[in-house]
Chains A and B, each alone.
Chain A
């Protein structure tokens, strides 16, 4: 999460309510900083920048403390992802088996690079370093499900099916 929150969009009242609910649910837990971030991301798909101050206030940490934790983990997003999250494995085995080609393909055909969301807001592409599926490289994970031996064609099909499920255009 490298983007500075000052440029991020303001969270909606509903999103803020979800943030506050997650924080108050975990407020008495020891070492609740990470669990709070997980809970917020699980709820909203991202951790709004407003959550930083709220987590800090709840746990009596500084804003910088929370910012440091939040930015340390690549998994935490600062902005809402697309309807679907595609994680492309970049670890050694998948790279050797052509995962970079998949990245190129996503860029050329779908106009979306690593860490970005495509223009129609349907798919967010993120890098991941090993899905534990090396025997079936290259591997991707779409909406939490792992797929092995992924070719460009197979990737297109997976994306098309996913988009259909949310009513998006292919």
Chain B
């Protein structure tokens, strides 16, 4: 099913620009534009009102993503009773205003302005990359420019060098009209302030500060490129390919912000991704990954043909889909016959769609006949699910992203939004520039602590592993100083639990002073932060994996819920508990029943009614016992009781902790089926490869961090011939379990039938509304932007006792430093996608960051190769010395497989959910001469061997093919 002309998701590549942003106001005013009455919110510009009345006023420096600026003088209008010709972009509408947008006088003025612009503009429209989509060209046409009286010979800006230093866009100053849209986009939309106008008067020039774009503060979000009305800032893909002919709305496949994009197309080829203005998560903004780093989808490394082999030391054999399904199914059946039904399992992916995830867990539960299904949320946000379900009653964040516009004080805890969730970070920074205050709780000095025009009021630079202590101390201050929201708690929370919790938290041992030795944070800072947060009218908490990936991860989540309830900050815009989800569909993967103990909609498998509901629909008996979690699968594999695993779109060999244990587990399997778009690290241990399809090649939905279900739309055919959901359907068939779907919309219909929070969701409704935040049912037919409005989902909010317990991972003389891991802006997770794009220019290796004191003690200098050793293993990386770190703490990322960051991490995990403790590993660091540690040498040898096996296989195939 391809999109038909006129479908709401299919656009021409031109989008209506209202010129100035929408204004929020309770009052409306009516104005007449060229005689047409139009009613707009108070504060709306005349320009915007005109567009709403269907009248386009010529403009150049205005665009509706930016506040009006009034520099181009093209949008002049006449207003009855007013002198002169005011700029329509900077003039707010008054009730009863009569506006004339076209007159002889205005035409003359506008033509005069255009003459000046064009007298200093290269007249190479036919060979210009913006040809066909250039606002300057359009305006020249609109004002009827016919000749330029000034000639073209005078002093001009036509001889200037292009800046091509950014890998994704060019800056051609000869085309620039200095409208400042790019500068303002960098400030207002992105909040980086990397651009400026250099010089003055005739010498004015857009500049990325004193350097070129690449060396500047630019984070390559592309907001400037999108704002540019000419071809001055232009995507290199458009320079190379030309302008798109149509666009399809879809959803980004990177982080949990879930930005809506228009995939701008030529036929079935993407030429540019442009964030969708009407996208409710991103409102027309994006980051470097979503906008630019999509080239991996057509990278030559893509696997296009299914492959099989008996042993992992055998060469790969490319086979037909039929043969791959038959082989995989026969292996599953053989293994189940030999080792029992429970010896098999599957792992769903937070990168895949809801529909695909739903199908995979259905395959495991109905086709494999067990509950051995888990998802990568196990290793990231499983404590969020558990903690929020326990305290509030629903395993999800409470707000939408728009909520941040109404907040007064924000706590960012264990999250690094400018790197991990850049589009949300831009919105947060905007709100902070408007005056909201910020408290950062993080062991590192992340950018938000102090970045141009934004500064945290408090940075509680805690020791890794002491989140619970810090949060308890904050709550202690609120309670003991009487700053809690007594009325809110009495009305909304379980008072018996609250009484017990209050007694517990008030104990002296939970005071900031008592906990200082664990947290390393001065008590007065905690007291100050607690007062600031408790006194703010709207306080919001945003957190990430720095909370969940700890031995007390679930406790950490519950401390957040406790503090939010204590201060009355759940149930309206501007407040709430906001987990920043790592991957595009981690919320969705959890919702879809990926956990071994829960069927879709977070309903426990032990509940007979739930089992009957699903069992009836699926025609099977569902096992009442929860299945294996990912770490249990590894342990069982090593023990020899778990023998076959179907992994969809996840690279467990790289992303899961204690790599050597994972490798041993994978080597113990008799049948490992990997479904991925690339031969990832896990694929090296596989027996069957089902080539995957990228987000551009299939229909489905993703659910982002704000529970927003958005459509993913197929814009090109799947490279391997089948989309992922079709693969699961066909594989199930080969196993003898029939699934009847002709389109993912039918899978969503089934999800809606079976899951109360999804009752009202359908593709038709998604097409109509753009996106829907679940719960969506009879009570909330258009979805739920913020939850727990009048009461908590569980009824009364539950305060849970959150005793601080230090992690068992202790520093010793042998391992005196604490390693904490995370990610950076340009790379994404295991890097399978971003490493195959030009984002590599920003980060082509993982690097250890350490504090100058720790470096000096060890004779380490900036840029040295160092070995990092933990109780689990060791690896070698380059290091940088930076005071972003605190003494005693080191940091690295895990984007590159050869770095082996997870060789070092341990098997400690959250007490409730087994989420691994990636954030705390005791290590030692020393300077080394060699580039590679022992594990890395083995890694290289194995990678070479597997590469050879793949190539041998292909060579044999082609020989056979030629016979």
A contact residues vs B (CB 8 Å cutoff): 2, 4-6, 49, 52, 56, 60-65, 67-68, 71-74
Contact = CB atoms under 8 A, between A and B. Distances in A.
Contacts of A56: 452
A62 B191 CA distance: 10
Interface in B210-226: 210-211, 216-217
Scoring A2, A4, A60, A65 by chain B CB atoms within 10 A of each residue's CB, the highest score goes to: A65
Given A6-B210, A56-B452, A71-B199, 13 more contacts: A4-B211, A49-B210, A60-B453, A60-B454, A61-B193, A62-B192, A62-B217, A63-B216, A64-B207, A67-B207, A67-B209, A68-B196, A71-B207
Contacts of B203: 2
A49 B453 CA distance: 21
A64 B180 CA distance: 14
B814 interface: no
28 contacts: A2-B203, A4-B210, A4-B211, A6-B210, A49-B210, A52-B209, A60-B454, A62-B192, A62-B194, A62-B217, A62-B453, A63-B209, A63-B210, A63-B217, A64-B193, A64-B196, A64-B208, A64-B209, A64-B217, A65-B452, A67-B198, A67-B209, A68-B196, A68-B207, A71-B199, A72-B197, A72-B199, A74-B200
B198 A71 contact: yes
Interface of B: 192-200, 203, 207-211, 216-217, 450-455
Chain A interface, DSSP helix/strand/loop, else mixed: helix
Choose among A6, A49, A72, A73 the residue with the greatest number of B CB atoms under 10 Å from its CB: A72
Nearest to A5: B210
Nearest to A69: B196
Name, among B196, B200, B207, B211, the residue most crowded by chain A CB atoms within 10 Å (CB to CB): B196
A64 B195 contact: yes
A67 B194 CA distance: 10
A68 B199 CA distance: 7
B249 to A, nearest CB: 33
B197 A68 contact: yes
B184 to A, nearest CB: 13
A33 B364 CA distance: 64
A62 B193 contact: yes
A61 B191 CA distance: 11
Contact of B211 (A6, A61, A65, A71): A6
B305 to A, nearest CB: 49
Given A6-B210, A62-B217, A63-B209, A68 B198 contact: yes
A61 B433 CA distance: 12
Nearest to B216: A64
Contacts of B209: 52, 62-64, 67
Contacts of A65: 193, 196, 452
Contacts of A62: 192-194, 209, 217, 452-453
Contacts of B451: 60
A61 B452 contact: yes
Contacts of A5: 210-211
A67 B211 CA distance: 10
Nearest to A61: B452
B452 A60 contact: yes
Contacts of B193: 61-62, 64-65
Give the 7 A-B CB pairs with smallest separation, nearest first: A68-B196, A62-B193, A64-B209, A62-B452, A64-B196, A5-B210, A63-B209
A42 to B, nearest CB: 22
Contacts of A73: 200
A64 B183 CA distance: 10
